[in-house]
């Protein structure tokens, strides 16, 4: 019969349809996990079929107050009915107030607002270049660390110390100098009168949750002063409450104040917002017309961030205690699972380094209803929402133990 020759149209499940559309129409730059998320509440996410996941990665450190936080939802609803965007041609009620708040918590006076981490990095790079140029056209060198990550724009990858991010895009910015983390001799050797700035993650994130030593940070500060270079801390992943302080550099005693700090991820709870916060010396390098952003610092993002900072003050003690409890429980697991080599981190920025690649464990975690990721091949990375409780940690550890019990090293 003729009708049997006509193929039946494929009936796709909603998940298959979504994945198929992405395969056909998106740039194929991401390797996604096979999970379609639909909604979230508190620390939990739900997929299209209603399956629940305890979220220990929070959109790579962005969903700081989890999902559907009542105060954040309320503020977003209110502001959506009032004013979403003004451009920076005009004033609105929230940008100055948020800048004042950032000055109070950072100890640095002036803020520039943008929309992402890498855009904040670009702002800081332009500040470094303008500062150097104001002294000498040869003062263009920027020191950063091997194994660092500073974003995906051309400027940011120029100073990112992992060749895999740079190799396809060369030539990049001239003058990048990479030194190994905590190697004070190499740091001293890298500085010269051509150094315009040094950029450091206080705790390397993508690089595997590696804190830098206080001695190394202090020497970087001294050398930056000696050579009149700007010291920039990239706190896009390790800052804004996550380490159990407003910023990771504030874990030093006495506090080691940089010239510039950049931040983004958790600040507006999922609404894009990045900041460059600078002292007067660094800020004075940028004159009217030298930098800008159409969307940066819009009323919605700034108002949400102000609400976030009010809530963060209340949450800070629990970030410290729940973070400590999380690390303690993970460390205890090292007895049963000897392939865990080390547990590192501060507050709710935590890494567990394994003896083998942990990538396949992320999929096992998804099966167990637990979201985390793997960075630097062997480090399981946990950046949970700040509202995580000790009961959530207990649940997470039970699920993680099941993942560890079932999972063999990838090659076994
Ligand atoms: C330390 C650090 N800097 C910069 C960035 C880039 O931020 P974004 O992805 O928002 O551009 C990231 C992102 O993970 C980061 O961890």
Does the global pTM surpass 0.85? Answer: yes
Q: Whose CA is nearest to atom 9 of ligand 1?
A: 117
**Distance between CA atoms of residues 357 and 269, nearest Å:** 31
Would you say residue 222 has pLDDT above 60? yes
User: Residues spanned by CATH 3.90.1150.10 within the chain?
Assistant: 2-68+315-406
Helix and strand numbers, DSSP H then E, in the chain: 13, 17
11-15, 26-30, 271-275 — which is least confidently predicted?
11-15
**pLDDT tens digits for range 84-105:** 999 999 999 999 999 999 999 9
Q: Which CATH class is domain 72-312?
A: alpha beta
User: Residues spanned by CATH 3.40.640.10 within the chain?
Assistant: 72-312
Contact partners, residue 350, CB within 8 Å, separation at least 6:
209, 323, 326, 327, 330, 343, 344, 381, 382, 383
Atom of ligand 1 nearest to the CA of 274: 10
CA 275 to ligand 1 centroid distance, Å:
12
Q: How many residues does the chain have?
A: 412
Atom of ligand 1 nearest to the CA of 156: 4
Residues with CB under 6 A from ligand 1: 60, 116-118, 121, 149-151, 201, 205-206, 234, 236-237, 264
Atom of ligand 1 nearest to the CA of 61: 14
Spatial CA neighbour of 319 closest among 103, 46, 61: 61
**Distance between CA atoms of residues 224 and 390, nearest Å:** 41
Q: Whose CA is nearest to atom 7 of ligand 1?
A: 117
Atom of ligand 1 nearest to the CA of 148: 1
**pLDDT tens digits for range 52-89:** 999 999 999 999 999 999 999 999 999 999 999 999 99
CA 118 to ligand 1 centroid distance, Å:
6
**pLDDT tens digits for range 343-379:** 999 999 999 999 999 999 999 999 999 999 999 999 9
Give the mutation target among 115, 118, 212, 263 for probing the ligand 1 site: most ligand atoms within 8 A of CB: 118
Mean of all residue pLDDT scores within the chain? 96
pLDDT over 70 for what percent of the chain?
98
Domain 2-68+315-406 has CATH 3.90.550.10: no
């Amino acid at each position: 019969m003729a009708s049997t020759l006509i193929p039946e149209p494929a009936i796709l499940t909603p998940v298959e349809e979504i994945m198929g559309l992405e395969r056909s129409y998106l740039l194929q730059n991401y390797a996604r996990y096979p999970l379609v998320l639909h909604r979230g509440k508190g620390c939990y996410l739900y997929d299209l079929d209603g399956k629940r996941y305890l979220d220990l990665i929070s959109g790579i450190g962005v969903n700081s107050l989890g999902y559907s936080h009542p105060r954040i939802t309320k503020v977003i609803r209110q502001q959506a009915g009032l004013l979403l965007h003004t451009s920076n041609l005009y004033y609105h009620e929230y940008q100055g107030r948020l800048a004042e708040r950032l000055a109070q918590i950072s100890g640095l006076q002036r803020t520039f607002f943008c929309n992402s981490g890498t855009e904040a990095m670009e702002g800081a790079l332009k500040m470094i270049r303008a500062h150097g140029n104001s002294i000498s056209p040869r003062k263009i060198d920027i020191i950063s660390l091997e194994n660092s990550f500073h974003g995906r724009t051309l400027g940011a990858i120029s100073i990112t110390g992992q060749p895999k991010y740079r190799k396809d895009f060369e030539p990049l910015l001239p003058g990048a100098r990479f030194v190994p983390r905590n190697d004070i001799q190499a740091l001293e050797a890298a500085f010269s009168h051509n150094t315009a700035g040094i950029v450091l993650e206080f705790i390397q994130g993508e690089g595997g949750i590696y804190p830098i030593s206080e001695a190394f940070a202090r020497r970087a500060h001294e050398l930056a002063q000696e050579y009149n270079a700007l010291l920039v801390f990239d706190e896009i992943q390790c800052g804004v409450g996550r380490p159990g302080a407003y910023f990771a550099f504030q874990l030093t005693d006495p506090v080691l104040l940089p010239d510039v700090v950049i931040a983004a991820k958790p600040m507006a709870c999922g609404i894009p917002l990045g900041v460059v916060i600078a002292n007067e010396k660094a800020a004075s390098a940028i004159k009217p017309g030298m930098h800008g952003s159409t969307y940066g610092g819009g009323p919605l993002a700034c108002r949400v961030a102000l609400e976030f900072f009010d809530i963060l003050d209340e949450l800070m003690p629990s970030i410290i205690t729940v973070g400590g409890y999380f690390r303690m429980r993970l460390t205890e697991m090292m007895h049963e699972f000897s392939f865990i080599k080390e547990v590192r981190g501060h507050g709710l920025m935590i890494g567990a380094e394994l003896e083998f690649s942990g990538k396949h464990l992320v999929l096992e975690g998804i099966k167990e209803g637990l979201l985390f990721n793997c960075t630097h091949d062997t480090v399981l990375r946990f950046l949970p929402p700040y509202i995580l409780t000790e009961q959530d940690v207990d649940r997470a550890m039970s699920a993680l133990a099941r993942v560890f019990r079932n999972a063999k090293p990838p090659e076994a």
